[in-house]
Amino acid sequence: MTDKPIIVLFRNDLRISDNKALAAAADSGRPVIPLFILDETGADARPRGAASRWWLHHSLTALGAAVEKLGNRLVLQTGATGKVIAEAIKASGADTVLWNRRYDPAGMAVDAALKSHLRDEGFEAESFDGFLLHEPSRVATQSGDFYKVFTPFHKRLTADGEPRDPVDAPRQLARCDSMPGSERLDALGLLPKPDWAGGLSGRWKPGEAGALERLEIFLEERLNGYAQGRDRPGEDATSGLSPHLAHGEITPFRIMAALRRRRSQGAETFVKEVSWREFCYHLLFHKPALHRENFRPEFDTFAWRNAPAALKAWQRGQTGYPIVDAGMRELWQTGYMHNRVRMIAASFLIKDLLIDWRQGETWFWDTLVDADAANNPANWQWVAGSGADAAPYFRIFNPVLQGEKFDPQGSYVRHWVPELATLPDRFIHRPWEAPAAVLGDSRLDLGSDYPRPIVDHARARERAMAAYRATRGDD
């Protein structure tokens, strides 16, 4: 037995409950060094986007406060993980390093090297589950291949039975006498300058307490209507848990345990969505370049357009298609976009504008508070048709019909595109068809207050189909 300190690493697991690495350290009764390292040194690491950095700042504030309540202090460091840990070991005399596993390719490579290096040097190094319900390396088809289709993947996960119960938060964390020095949170430079994050602060409460609150609200108020409501962007019908999951402020184990007591159609649909997240990580595990490379190589020769003005109009929510613009403005202002609208906006970029899905994926990566190494590229490839189990390329969303179907009274559009707020329902998704008198009554000067469509959808659709046929060699 030893009473040497234990270092517990925090990365995308910014919580104290259902944190197996932290629980193991606390249970040992030994001094604990909770350590967060901002490691932006890896050549392969994908730097966090701006919205995710904003979230991280606030999540670390919350985690720091929670750790203090346990009688300890969160140490913040920047630099290469291995080097920072070596210095922390030297300063503290720690002989054990514990962490919860992460599943982005660069992070996994760092952790694998770290584990073998520490063990070679005679230290203890152990990792735990928490971020995913199933280890991607252990899920395989009967022939030993990886799953490329969601439904059998989901069935296979379900056959594994109920996931484990979440573990409790420690009651205290013994402090180490020789704690390594910490950098100040502000010095990590995570907040945007100038500060454009007002809309993000208005909508979100980063941190574990915010995550648990969201889960509670979802279970009490939204779960029953989730199956029907989840496609309605004008309603608060989904959980809003994605940024909390992305930063590990809550685990899927906690979510699954809470759902277990509430069997319903809503719960079944929700479990499937959580399973999609697992599927995206399964794909990323087997295709680590998922954000750079088409899953289906036949898309490698696709004739994408270089169209900077159109890309900018899309990014700024100025395409002239109200549902697309509402989504892009929601994203810009709050770091989030409703799932249905993500699909519509992504389809518009890829198919109506014929712009490479990677450009959209990059924009989302920078602007989403839930920017996720697996979910983002996997979903972009799903929309593009280049992904596994993807929507076929020729299924091209009509942004007007999608708007009318899922936002029938236009409440979502009216909120995010206020210049259209007074248009009657009939024209809210097609303002260019409104007669002059209607536009006059609504005090809308089309082309000045709000753009006319930057492409004609019907023609853009033909163009997209032709490009697709050419890629397949049908022409």
Total interface residues for ligand FAD by CB under 6 A:
27
Cα 367 to chain centroid distance, Å, stands at 11
Question: Using alpha carbons only, what angle is made at residue 129 by residues 125 and 32, rounded to the nearest 5 degrees?
Answer: 45
Q: How many angstroms separate the CA atoms of 254 and 248, rounded?
A: 11
**68: nearest Cα among 34, 36, 92, 100:** 34
Cα 216 to chain centroid distance, Å, stands at 20
Q: How many angstroms separate the CA atoms of 388 and 299, rounded?
A: 12
Q: How many angstroms separate the CA atoms of 275 and 185, rounded?
A: 34
- What are 35's strand-pairing partners? 9, 75
Active site residues per annotation: 273, 276, 304, 339, 357, 380
Kindly identify the residues of this chain, within the stretch 379-438, that bind ligand FAD according to CB under 6 A.
379-380, 383
Among 72, 239, 333, 367, binds ligand FAD (CB under 6 A): 239
Site map (CB under 6 A) of ligand FAD, residues 297-336, x = contact: ----------------------------------------
Q: How far is the CB of 322 from ligand FAD (least distance, A)?
A: 19
For the record, the structure tokens of 471 come out as 């890629």
In DSSP notation, 300-334 reads GG------HHHHHHHHHT-SS-HHHHHHHHHHHHH
Kindly identify the residues of this chain, within the stretch 99-158, that bind ligand FAD according to CB under 6 A.
none
Q: How far is the CB of 347 from ligand FAD (least distance, A)?
A: 9
Supply the DSSP symbol for 454. Answer: S
Among 72, 96, 242, 381, binds ligand FAD (CB under 6 A): 242
Nearer of residues 175 and 203 to ligand FAD, judged by Cβ: 203
Nearer of residues 7 and 219 to ligand FAD, judged by Cβ: 219
Contact 399, 348 (CB under 8 A): yes
- Ranges of beta strands (E only) in 69-123 are 75-78, 96-100
Q: Is 274 in the site for ligand FAD (CB under 6 A)?
A: yes
Site map (CB under 6 A) of ligand FAD, residues 347-376, x = contact: -----------------x---x-xxx--xx
Q: How far is the CB of 275 from ligand FAD (least distance, A)?
A: 8
Q: How far is the CB of 234 from ligand FAD (least distance, A)?
A: 14
The residues of the shown chain that bind ligand FAD, judged by CB under 6 A, are 230, 238-242, 245-246, 273-274, 276-277, 280, 339, 342-343, 346, 364, 368, 370-372, 375-376, 379-380, 383
